[in-house]
Every structure is written in C-alpha cells, then in structure tokens.
Structure 1
Amino acid sequence: MRSFHFPGRSTVHAQNGMIATSHPQAALAGIEVLRAGGTAADAAVAACALLGVIEPQSTGIGGDCFALVQPKGEGRITAYNGSGRAPMAATVDWYLERKIHSVPLTSAHAVSVPGAIDAWDRILRDHGRLGLDRLLQPAIRAAEDGYVVAPRVGFDWNNQFEKLKNGTNTARYLLPHGRPAAVGDVIRQPELAQTLRIIAKEGPKGFYTGAVAEDMVQTLRGIGGLHALEDFANHQTEVTAPIGTTYKDHDVWQCPPNGPGITMLVMLNILSRFDLTRIAPLSIERFHLEAEAARIAYMMREQHIGDPEHMTIEVASILAKEFADEYVSQISLDKLLDLPSVAPPMNPETVYITVVDRDRNVCSFINSIAHSFGSAIVSNQTGVLLQNRAGGFRIQPDHPNCIGPGKRPLHTIIPALATKAGRAQMSFGVMGGQYQPVGQTHVLTNILDYGCDVQEAIDMARGLHYEGVYQLEDGVPAEVVEGLEKIGHKTSKVMSPLGGGQAIWIDWDKGTLTGGSDPRKDGCALGY
C-alpha cells in the first residue's frame, strides 16, 4: 500500500467489471459498455475506437491490433494477430534496385495494410455481444462533435510539429490553425467521423473495399506506394494459440511471432535463474540484470524473429531452458556481456487496454499506428491516419524480417496475460515501442518478486538498454546511475518517460478486481 504522505495514485477496486486505458474518456466508454451488458471484448473495442480519435498520435483505424482473450478467465486462451502485410508488389529486389536499404518511415513504403478493423470485428464475432455499429458510436461522436486535447496528447502533438507540417495531408487534418493542438483545444474530424459511420454500417468490408479502400490506395500510390486494392481486400486476421513460459508459479502468455512477445518470455527465462528478492528493486544490481536479460533477448529477436512463415528457428527452441542457460552462466554483476550491438529499425508508440467483465471474461488488447502519428500520411478524403509499421522491415535478403510480398513485419506491440493454475491472474501491458518487453518484465517482477500492487509496479522508475545506451528515467536514483556507469553502462536521461501501462489483477477468492494505470499517460482504471 502506498504512503498517503506522498503524491501518487491509489489502486482501483471493483467487483463487477473493470477497464484500464491511457485516457479517462476511453475508460469511461468501456465502463458504459460493461454496464450495458457488453463483454470485455466489446468494451475493449469501444475504448480503442475512441482512443483512435482522441489519442491520434498513438492509435487509430489506420493501425494494427493484437489481443489475448480468455473466456471466463480460465481455460483456453486465444491470440489474435491483427497485423497487416506488405503490398504484394513489395519485393526486396524492387528496393535494392533503387538503392533503398531501409524503409523511409514517412514514405508510402512504410505503410502496411492496416489490420485493426478486421481484428476488432473478428474478436467481437468470437467474444462480443454488441456489434461495431454500436461500439463505434463514442468514437463517431468525438470525431464529429469534438474532443478536448488531454495533457499527454498535447505534449506529443507539440513534439511532432515538424513531422506533421511536412507530412501528406497532415497539415490539413492534424494542424488546426497551422499549429499543434494544445492542451484544452477542441478538435473535430468530420471526415474521420464519416469513415467510422461507413464501418459501423458495413463492417470491415466498408474499410477494406469500396470508397474508403480506394481512397487509401489512391493516396498511397500518389506518393509512390506499391499498394493495390487487392492488398486491402485480401487482408485477414490470424487466430492462433499463445506462447508462454513460467515465472514464480505463474504462466505468462504472449502472442506468437510476428509479434515480439517472445522477447519478454526470454527475459523472464533468464531472470528466473536469479533470486531478485535478494536485491533491492531500485538498485544497481536489479537494473543491470534487467539490462543484460534485455540485451540477450533483443539480440535473439533481431537475429531470428519475423513473419513465422520465413523464420528458420522454432519458437520452442528459443523458449527452451537451454537457450537461457547458454547465457546465464556468462552474466556478471560487475561487467557487461560482450554482445553484438542491436539496432532495431523503429521505436514506435501505441495504446494498451485491459478489461475484465462481470463474467470474468478477460481481454488484453493493444492497438497502434507505430511511430507517433504513424507515417504522417492521412488518406485524401477519409481522414484515416495510416501507420508506418512496414518501417519495421529490414531490406536484407535472407533475413527472416526482410520485406517481401504479403509479409508481416516484426512487430513491437504485445498484450500480456499471466495465469495461475489455469486461471487468469493479471491482464497487463506496457506501451512504448521497443520498451514493451522490458516494461512488461519490469512490472511483473515488481509484483511477483517485490510485492508491489499493480499501481506501485507501474509507477516504479524504469530504464531501457537500447542501441548501446541505458536510457533512464529521472526517477532512477543518482547512485544507481553512477553505479551502472562504473560497471560499463553508457547512460542517458530520456526526454519522454518510458511507455505507459495498465493492469488488472483478479482475486478469485474475494471476487474482486484491482486495477492500475500509468501516470506517464493521461488515463486511469475504472471499475463498477
């Protein structure tokens, strides 16, 4: 329990249902759906659709979606991969012939087919009671009538001014009065509202075919894209079983590749060989071990993970005990492992939503347009801001994550779910691009090793060892920073805090839910 002498957030407690999001209006929209008899999946989709309007830098219908759903909080978990593919014309030779060796992040080539709308529809067909026609109404009202810009949204909008000023249609749609939207401004997007109405009426076909798809393709081809109407019309969500590992008597679940959740599972496998309870949560040793586990796991990911149809290594072999053991014996508390430098192609944004309903259906749900404001390309007439997820591809023949016709890129967004004895224990996620596997590991170990509640676990200061530099939040004590530097870490402060997160803990004995939401964002947990 937190000390009430100091600023902070209390955990949120409820019996019937709960949602945690990165924006209060989205959390409220989800609660209204739950109280109206909707399921966890219904609430997640309604909240996410609204976030695509009111938190446009992070998510939207022009992006991708992953989810884990466990009906009644026990038994079979289903993983939904709503990530889009590269155009069928996107061959690696096309890029190499033009001496393009990385995907420009604000070009049409960075735009993969948005997968979110089809994923929402599939999840609702499997686990919802309400339909897109009803669940999109809060988003439609916000786009039509206007919404008030929240503090973190305004902060990000201001930081992306140059990007939006130079994008395709972004000055028209996203720079009202020629400047970034500021906190307290009211923003309206009538074109996006009309597009949402089409989807509400026609379902996914209203997005992937017809006038909306034609406008997106025309926009992209007009600036050099290789997209065709067939690329949109042929898109389908992939439904699979999750992958997992065990940590502290809990099973931890992730979506399989091309999702990067395997990175977090490898980190847990490595850290499980150490007794973190013997070292302080804000200590040199804890941050060093977390960084070493991350460096190993990210090295593995960048070498081996991509579209599973093109991977040459089995997921089971990476999650095997022997893979972790190969490196654990080499980790030292007083120096860094000698590992190759890892430079992922992108470090984007996202939103994460967790919902548990009255029947204890659990939905761990994440949606993203990749970098802040995605590709900075807005479709000409529809107001759809398109993701730049294809910027995560490599242009490197024979690499599992090399761009290719109809391939899905290595992703960054990962919804997580922890179970115990088959029952859902915690639905959680941590946003923040490449930080997500580290953030999820940090939050989970804060709870299972250090006894934090979900809010304390989310609040605790963070660090990310990324591209050879340990990026540390201001909350990391100065003596820890100094100690990390003494054992060889190059450190820096981060301008923006690392990610944001949400979590809901289920107490089956008491019949209660406990939620937390990250103060690094605008959101909250709400229950009833």
Structure 2
Amino acid sequence: MRDFQLPGRSAVYATNGLCATSHPLAAKVAVDMLQAGGNAADAAIAAAVLLGICEPQMTGIGGDCFVLVKPAGTEDVVALNGSGRAPMGLDAATLRARGLTAMPIRGIESVTMPGAIDAFCRLNADYGLKGLDEVLAPAIRYAEEGVPVAPRVAFDWAADGEALTGAARRFYLAGGAAPKLGQVFRAPGQAEVLRRIAREGRKGFYEGEVAEDMIASLRALGGTHTMEDLAATACDWGAPVSGTYQGVELLEHPPNGQGATAILMLNILAHFDLAALDPLGAQRAHLEAEAAKLAYDARNRFIADPAFMTRGADYLTAPVTAAKLAALIDPARAMAEPAKLTEAVHRDTVYLTVVDRDRMAVSLIYSIFWGFGAGLASDRFGINFQNRGAGFTLTPGHPNEAAGGKRPMHTIIPAMLKEKGRITLPFGVMGGQYQPCGHARFVSNLTDYGMDLQQAMDAPRSFSGSEGMQVERGYSEAVRAGLAAMGHRVSIPDEPLGGSQAIHIGSDGTLIGASDPRKDGCALGY
C-alpha cells in the first residue's frame, strides 16, 4: 500500500478491459476500441500505431515489433516475430574492408527492412475482430490533426533531433529545431500511408507508391535495399521461451529477441537470498549488476537470428548454465571488467499491454531502435527508417555477424508471467540494453519483496553496462558509496532507466494496471 502523503500514483482497477501504455492518448484509443467491440489485438494495434505519432522519436511504421498473445479461452501463449531482415546487399566483409570494426550506429548501413506493419496486419487477420480501416482510424486522425508534444517526448526530442539528416529534418523538426513542450506535431504523410494500409492491407505498405518511396529514398542515400527485399518481409508465429523464478513462470519472446537473457539472469539470482536483503540496498544492486554482466555476456555470444545460432535458447535458460555463472560472482566485490556489450546501448522503444473482457492478453513492444532510428526518412511520406542493423556484429563467423537476409539480435522483449497454470501478468520494460535487467528486477520486486505493480515500477533502478554502473537518483548517496566501495564505477544517468507497463489479471475477475512514471503514459480501464 502506497503512502498517500507522498508523491506517487495508484494502480488502476477495472473489470471489463484495461490498457497500459506510455502515452495517455494511446491508452484512451485502446479503451475506446475495446468499448466499441474490438478485442485486445485490435486495441493493441490501434494504440501502437498511434504511439508512432505521439512518440515518433521512439517508434514508427519504419520499425519492428515483437508480440506475445494469450488468446481468449486458453492459457497458451504464442509469439509473433515482426522484425525485419537486412537487405540482401549487406555484407560484413565489405564493411570490414572499408576499415569498420563495428556496425555504424546510424546511417544507411544500419537500416533493416521494417517488419512491424506486416506483423500488425497478421495479428489483425489472425486474432482481430475489427477491420484495419477501423483499427487505424484513430492514428490517421491524430496524424492529420496533430498531437501536442508531451513532457517526456519533448525531453527526448531535444536530444534525439540532432541525429536527423536530410528529409528527416523536414518531417521531424519545426524550423530546424525540435518541437517544444505542447507544440502540435503533425504527420500528414504518415496519415496517407495508413489510409493505404487501411484499404489494401500490407500491400499498401510493401508494394506500390509507399514501397517505391522507401526504396528510392534508401537507394538515393547509398543503400543496397531493393523492392524485392521489402516484398520478402514476413513475420512468423512461434513459441515463447520460459523459466521459473520463486514459483512464477516467466515467458519471454524467443530469439532473435534477447528474452532468454532475462530468464538466465533470474536463474543466476536464484542462487542468492535476495529476499533477505534490503530491496533498495547496495548488496541487492551489486548482485543484480554482477548477474547482468554474466547474462549479457552469454547473450552476446549466442543470441542471433535463430537460423544462425550455434546454441539454442534452451542453453541460456538451462539451470546448469546459471549455476556455473553464479559461482563466478563475488558477493563483496565487482568484477574487474564488465562484459562488453556488442550491441549499442539505446533507450528508444514503446511498450504496451492490453487485456479485454474475454481475457485475451497482448504484450507488444515496438521500436525504431535509437532515437529517430537511423536519422533518415523517406522523401515523400516521411517514414522514419530504423537502425536495427546496428545490432549486428562485424566479428567474422559470429552467429550475429551482419549478412543480407538475416535478422539482427534484438533488444525489444515483451513478457508475461504465468502462475499455477494461468497467465496473470503481461508486462514489459522499455530501455534497450536495460530490458532483461528490468524484467528480472520487476519480477524480483514482485516475488522477493511483495511489492504491488506500481511500487515494483516506481522503485529506483540501476544498471551495470559498458558505461559503468548507472544508479538512478532514487537511490541514496549511502548506496552509491557502498557500490563504489565494492569496485563499481558509479554514476547517475542523464535519463531514467527504462519505462514499464503491466496488467495483473486476477482470478476474481479484477484487472490491475500500472504505468511507469518515467514516461508520459498511464493505465486506463473500464
């Protein structure tokens, strides 16, 4: 129970349906869709596409998505991989010959094909109740009429806007500068693209004038991308990977997503008595940091496009793997060198979850990778291109080595919890590299410390990565000093670590939604 004399927010309780997103307009649109007779799939798509207008620095139709779906009437979960592939012309050897030792973070080499729209169309066809015309109508209206720039969006836009070049500056800057707080952002070009998708389905995006605009723009920027690359984009259904912590089963999206990393991290932490530690103390943060270093190092070695992985996700989620890694942790001292993160750090993603009256649950994450992706956009419609190819490595022979037709290792991971055979909690934690650590911390907050949903999100965070150990201001100076004494290179991050959304599905019929205060969003139900 929160202390009502202190700043904070309450969780949201409802019985018919509930949505939690990172922007209030998207949450409202999702609930409107549910009340109009749509289901969780319809509401999730409507909210997600609108988030590309509300938070264009975070996501958009030029990006990718992953989805976990629990259909109504079953406790089984399916995973939809909506990540695009590299153009066939991408070649690691060619890039190495140019003197590159790592994939460029931004620019044309980093642009992979956009997979999200194909996945949204597939999700709608396989599970939706409404037509795409009705599902996309709210985003089309807001793209035309405009959306006032929200506080966190304005904060991000001011920094991320510097990466925009060429046509992207025309579409995403106002007079050469980032829009200010409250300034209305419009995207009429994207409204037209969405109208075509509403009429024609995926053909409206992957064929015809929209596709020609994307490919012509990419080619003019020096890309090898072709109409054939774009037309070949196809999502696919699969099964989630899972692991158990404190009697709760964690379901994660399979590779090329990094979900198995969160399971491995919890398996490592299970070798320590976290429940006996102060949840906001230095010792817990230390153990979490050390587990993250080891889990991420394993991720960087093995997770890639599953067609190229030398070890399956079952190796990462196996208890014996975690036991060997846990034995390497010194409870009193940080490792001399943190595991090198082969993928660039980013913080730019949107996550949402929806549960409807029939208890279909959708856990969806949608991203263009870095702020404004590659910093590039199509010339006619202003489609912002993702830089997901920065997730590849140029190490020869590595499972995640850049290559044409291949999916890069992805940071975005939707999740769900299952208890006693029943799905109880779709959730996600945004924040690029932080996501597996965020998942592990959120689950531990719930199970080890008995926090409620909102408390588990509000609690301060820390993360040990390539920049040392970032410790949010919510921690005390004594904790930071204690971590430094253990050998951690401690700093306070410029931005908050991640952002999260969650919905608890009660056995009594009550839905409880929580939304992270680190973002502009909220949970709404009816």
Shorter chain as denominator, the TM-score bin is over 0.9
Contact 1:342 1:468 survives alignment (8 Å): no
User: Aligned letter for 1:347?
Assistant: V
- Is 2:356 the counterpart of 1:323? no
- Is 2:82 the counterpart of 1:64? no
- The equivalent residue for 1:504 is 503
- Is 2:124 the counterpart of 1:124? yes
Q: 1:484 to 1:14 in 2, by over 3 A?
A: same
- The CA deviation string for residues 322-352 of structure 1, in whole angstroms up to 9 with x for no partner, is 1011022232221123566313332221000
Q: How does 1:56-455 map to 2 (within 5 A)?
A: 56-72=56-72, 74-164=74-164, 167-337=165-335, 341-348=339-346, 349-455=348-454
Contact 1:16 1:527 survives alignment (8 Å): yes
SS in 1 for 2:175: helix
Instruction: Quote the sequence identity (%).
Output: 48
RMSD: 1.2
Cα distance in structure 2, aligned partners of 1:324 and 1:338? 20
- The CA deviation string for residues 65-117 of structure 1, in whole angstroms up to 9 with x for no partner, is 00100113743210011001000111222222322332222211111000000
SS in 1 for 2:427: strand
Q: Which moved further from structure 2: 460-469 or 331-340?
A: 331-340
User: Aligned letter for 1:341?
Assistant: A
Cα distance in structure 2, aligned partners of 1:231 and 1:422? 41
Ranges of 4+ aligned residues in structure 1 off by more than 3 Å: 337-341
User: Aligned letter for 1:137?
Assistant: A
Once the two structures are TM-superposed, the CA of residue 445 in structure 1 deviates from its matched residue by 0.8
Once the two structures are TM-superposed, the CA of residue 233 in structure 1 deviates from its matched residue by 0.3
SS in 1 for 2:61: coil
- The CA deviation string for residues 424-451 of structure 1, in whole angstroms up to 9 with x for no partner, is 1111000011111111111111111111
TM-score by length of 1: 0.98
**Aligned residue pair count:** 525
Contact 2:161 2:372 survives alignment (8 Å): no
User: Aligned letter for 2:112?
Assistant: S
Contact 1:374 1:386 survives alignment (8 Å): yes
Q: Which moved further from structure 2: 381-390 or 270-279?
A: 270-279
Cα distance in structure 1, aligned partners of 2:237 and 2:49? 21
User: Aligned letter for 2:474?
Assistant: G
TM-score by length of 2: 0.98
Contact 2:68 2:414 survives alignment (8 Å): yes
Cα distance in structure 1, aligned partners of 2:21 and 2:479? 31
- The equivalent residue for 1:465 is 464
Once the two structures are TM-superposed, the CA of residue 314 in structure 1 deviates from its matched residue by 2.2
Contact 2:168 2:382 survives alignment (8 Å): no
SS in 2 for 1:417: strand
In structure 2, the gaps of 5 or more residues are none
Contact 1:330 1:337 survives alignment (8 Å): no
Q: How does 1:31-46 map to 2 (within 5 A)?
A: 31-46=31-46
Cα distance in structure 2, aligned partners of 1:339 and 1:259? 25
SS in 1 for 2:13: strand
- The CA deviation string for residues 470-490 of structure 1, in whole angstroms up to 9 with x for no partner, is 011111111111101111111
SS in 2 for 1:176: coil
Once the two structures are TM-superposed, the CA of residue 506 in structure 1 deviates from its matched residue by 1.1
Contact 1:73 1:362 survives alignment (8 Å): no
Q: 1:373 to 1:284 in 2, by over 3 A?
A: same
User: Aligned letter for 2:283?
Assistant: E
Contact 1:264 1:441 survives alignment (8 Å): yes
Q: 1:8 to 1:458 in 2, by over 3 A?
A: same
Cα distance in structure 2, aligned partners of 1:345 and 1:331? 23
Contact 1:71 1:361 survives alignment (8 Å): yes
SS in 1 for 2:190: helix
Q: Which moved further from structure 2: 332-341 or 264-273?
A: 332-341
Cα distance in structure 1, aligned partners of 2:187 and 2:80? 29
Q: Which moved further from structure 2: 326-335 or 209-218?
A: 326-335
User: Aligned letter for 2:445?
Assistant: N
Cα distance in structure 2, aligned partners of 1:345 and 1:271? 24
User: Aligned letter for 1:31?
Assistant: V
In structure 1, the gaps of 5 or more residues are none
Contact 1:374 1:385 survives alignment (8 Å): yes
Contact 2:294 2:339 survives alignment (8 Å): no
SS in 2 for 1:428: strand
User: Aligned letter for 1:525?
Assistant: A
User: Aligned letter for 1:149?
Assistant: V
